[in-house]
Amino acid sequence: MDDRIIKTEYSEVMQKSFIDYAMSVIISRALPDVRDGLKPVQRRVLYDMYELGIRPDRPYRKSARIVGDTMGKYHPHGDSSIYEALVVLAQDFKKAQPLVDGHGNFGNIEGDGAAAMRYTEARLHKITQDAFLADLDKDVVDFTPNFDETEQEPTVLPCRFPNLLVNGSEGIAVGMATSIPPHNLAEVIDAVKAYMLDENISTRELMRYIQGPDFPTGGIVTNRDELLSIYETGVGKIKIRGRVETEKGRAGRTNVVITQIPYPMIGANIGKFLSDVAALSESKKTGDIVDISNQSSKEGIRIVIELKKDADVDHFIRMLYKKTRLEDTFGVNMLAICNGRPETMGLKQIIQASVDFQFEVNRRKYETLLEKEQARREVQEGLIKACNVIDLIIEILRGCKDRAMAKACLVDGVTDGVRFKSKESAVMAGYLRFTEKQADAILDMRLYKLIGLEIEALVKEHEETLANIYRYEDILERKSSMAQVIMNELDAIRKEFSVKRKTVIDNCEDVVFEEKKIEEMDLYCLIDRFGYCRTVDVSVFERNQEAVSAENRFFFRCKNTGRICLFTNTGQLYTVKVSDLPLGKLRDKGVPLDNVSHYDSTKERLLLAVSQSDLNLYRILFVTRQAMAKIVDGGEFDVTKKAVSATKLADQDELADVTVYKEQKNVILQSKNGYFLRFLVSEIPEKKKAAIGVRAMKLLAGDEIEAVYYTKNTDETAISYKDRTLVLNQLRAAGRDSRGTKVRG
């Protein structure tokens, strides 16, 4: 048993295992091959459809059949990843040239997923059949055993154009990722031909043919001058905007219509865009929106935003570009597998790799065709020669005992045992020297081949074979001839499958958007006992002061451009923009504080609400349940964050009271066990907000602060305590950190 135990360093095993895993993901999963622009799962799906005979001119087949067959033969990594790859290959809003013809619900641009694979059907697109799979039977690429060595699969498909550029690619591997934008097929083919005519062509000259990316969703690329650097290095950022138009709406209003979206917006980001536009109105960044509707259909994107009559349309469109994803960036990282390893490639390098691959594919193709034509020529020459001496051959066949004797006579001139009618025939038979292939063809030849027209057809076929051999040899011997063949194939693909460019390439100035300044005005903020908050005009408050005081827990003056601060028992401080609160009438319900801040009324209690501008003028007094107290300068709470810690608390402690320190002279602490302590507020020291504070009252075990009151020397303050009236000013004054007076009911 000990002989089978291998002792090794754990770190070395982990390092080797991780590297093996990383390389497997990089090479065999996530990154495309520069030659055909496909990831392994995509290549296997297309090859499996080819093997199943699901061609463009044949009926659709269930996607579940394709996925199951691919998983069983070539890709044992789960059906969901295979079906997802099949779906993406069929989506015309993700691929410039879809490679699969989907039938059924294959998802949509708004992010809705495809139907289950048992419901959808698919077949190969014609461009896939013609440009990816047409020559697989001519030994143009290498084949390798599948995972269980029961099948053979191609290592790469013989794609006739740079699919990596045309359809782009996105993938995340281990420690690296690829992101290649799609391009226009016609432009890419023109660039390939330009490179083949001049291999020293520069990237700048190639860009005379390839203007830039051509996204299936259209849009406007706004940084044309930066594209040269991106295509030279293979890395950069492409800025893209959606296309916006304006239309006349109902009742004299203007409609802003989005007809094209940035490529990164496809999917769930369309829903987020609609939410962001609605949020602009809810947050009062704009009051121009009347209605938003998504009228998109199979015909294309159409998002309609109805504006008010007096709206500044140009200002609103600039706000859309600045505040939503209607203007976005596409991060470019043209990483692909080249010569078996990942490499970041520029535009010229990708085209060069594709052209080199085309020459290799065509070399192997025409070597195979030449070999077949040469074999056919050999047979044809034997048959023509046999027709010229057909009488002698018939005499040989009639005089032989078996096929072997006849073949030996035809190939080597062996006449032993053959019965001839004359000695002259025997002598002539001895000079016959057919090859074995020719002899087999002669022996298998049918009598009708001796008809005159059939002989003429044989001679004509032989002439065609000789012409093919001459042509194939010329293609293989002269690079210019092969280049012409490749360019002819590219022209045919361009003519049949090219489409018009959808994306506009331009240099656009950065969007300049300045939020319209709000005219500053005084308001009153009202917070009722249920936590609903609203603002009202100062005039409304002054006319209804008694009602406001009776119906609201907090009310204070503030600026519409300012913030309000919320202090809770957990020691947190939450800020809310006054502009986020509804401005309405006195009896309006308002909005819950939970909806406009990080405050959670189910987990904490609101102790103080105050205008942030007031905090800079005053100090804040804190008292905790464990009788810790301190005064903090209000300027420390002049923050813009939505949630910060207002004070430091000991374990298991919480705030009992927070108040603005203005004219209070005395503080009265009431404990749960009925002790009251009255002392001067001036005895509480000023601390930083990060301090715990000082002890304000000695508490017995299990006791805690239940309530905090404040008095002025001149004003008499009374409370109801245990069915009796207690005048706080009459309590015996003591020093801070005393036990206080026990009050009995």
Burial 80-91 (b: 16+ CB within 10 A, else e): eebbbbbbbbbb
Residue 449: its pLDDT value, please? 65
pLDDT for residue 515: 63
Round to whole Å and give the CA distance between 600 and 387.
101
Q: In the prediction, which pLDDT does 431 show?
A: 77
The whole-number average pLDDT for the span 438-453 is: 73
From CA 665, how far away is CA 662, in angstroms rounded?
Answer: 9
Three-state secondary structure call for residue 599: coil
* Predicted local confidence at residue 2, as pLDDT: 56
Between 298 and 705, the more confident residue is 705
Q: Tokens 């390839």 — which residue?
A: 210
- Whether residue 453 is predicted with pLDDT greater than 70 in this model: the reply is no
pLDDT in tens, 62-105: 999 999 999 999 998 889 999 999 999 999 999 999 999 999 99
Residues 227 and 208: their CA atoms lie apart, in Å, by 12
pLDDT for 418: 73
Q: Which string of DSSP letters, residue by residue, matches 138-178? A: GT-S-EEE-TTSSSEEESS---SS-HHHHT-EEEE-SS-EE
- The CATH superfamily assigned to 522-742 is DNA gyrase/topoisomerase IV, subunit A, C-terminal (2.120.10.90)
The whole-angstrom separation of Cα 558 and Cα 533 is 13
31-159 belongs to which CATH class? alpha beta
Percent of the chain having pLDDT more than 90?
A: 52
How far from chain centre, in Å, is Cα 636?
A: 43
For residue 647, the one-letter residue type is T
* CA neighbours closer than 13 Å in the CB half-sphere of residue 436: 1
Cβ(630)–Cβ(693) under 8 Å?
yes
Which CATH class for the 355-496 domain?
mainly alpha
Q: What pLDDT score does 39 carry? A: 92
DSSP state of 306: E
Identify the pLDDT of residue 716. 78
Lowest mean pLDDT among 255-259, 272-276, 284-288, 433-437: 284-288
For 108-121, what is each residue's pLDDT tens digit? Answer: 888 888 999 999 99
Q: Rounded mean pLDDT of 630-654?
A: 90
* Beta strands in 417-529, from DSSP E residues, in sequence order: 504-505, 522-528
For residue 470, what are the β-bridge partners?
Answer: none
| Comparison of pLDDT for 284 and 325, the residue scoring more | 325
Q: What is the pLDDT of residues 136-193, one digit of tens each?
A: 999 999 999 998 999 999 999 999 999 999 999 998 877 788 999 999 999 999 999 9
Residue 468 scores a pLDDT above 60: yes
What are the pLDDT digits (tens) for 673-712? 989 999 999 999 999 989 999 999 999 988 999 999 988 8
Residue 284 and residue 596 in contact, taking contact as beta carbons nearer than 8 Å = no
Domain positions in the chain: 31-159, 243-325, 355-496, 522-742
More confident residue, 361 or 638: 361
* Model confidence pTM above 0.85: no
How many CA atoms, within 13 angstroms, populate the side-chain half-sphere of residue 203?
Answer: 16
In the structure encoding, which two tokens stand for residue 591, read together?
């909005």
Least confident of 573-577, 582-586, 664-668, 712-716: 712-716
> Which of 62-66, 521-525, 646-650 has the highest average model confidence (pLDDT)?
62-66
- Among 376-390, 510-524, 709-723, where is mean pLDDT lowest? 510-524
Q: What is the mean pLDDT of residues 275-279?
A: 87
420-438: average pLDDT: 79
Averaged pLDDT score across all residues of the chain:
88
Does pLDDT of 516 surpass 70? Answer: no
From 21, 50, 83, 119, the catalytic residue? 119
Residues 191, 206 contacting (CB under 8 angstroms):
yes
Give the pLDDT band of residue 583 (cuts 50, 70, 90).
confident
Q: Which tokens belong to 630?
A: 């301190």
Averaged over 293-301, what is the pLDDT? 86
pLDDT over 80 at 396, yes or no = no
**In angstroms, rounded to a whole number, what is the distance separating the alpha carbons of residues 183 and 163?**
9
The arithmetic mean of pLDDT across residues 282-304, rounded, is 84
Q: 119 an active-site residue?
A: yes
For 60, 102, 209, 281, 664, the CA distances from 56, given in Å and listed in that order, are 9, 11, 31, 50, 88
CATH T-level fold of 243-325: Gyrase A; domain 2 (3.30.1360)
- Statement: residue 579 has pLDDT above 60: yes
pLDDT of residue 40: 92
Percent of the chain with pLDDT over 70: 96
**What per-residue confidence (pLDDT) applies to 596?**
87
Altogether, the residues listed in the chain come to a count of 745
pLDDT at res. 51: 94
Q: Does residue 161 contact residue 185 with C-beta atoms inside 8 Å?
A: yes
The tens digit of pLDDT for each residue in 704-737 reads 999 999 888 767 788 888 878 888 888 888 889 9
Say how far apart CA 323 and CA 233 lie, in whole Å. Answer: 31
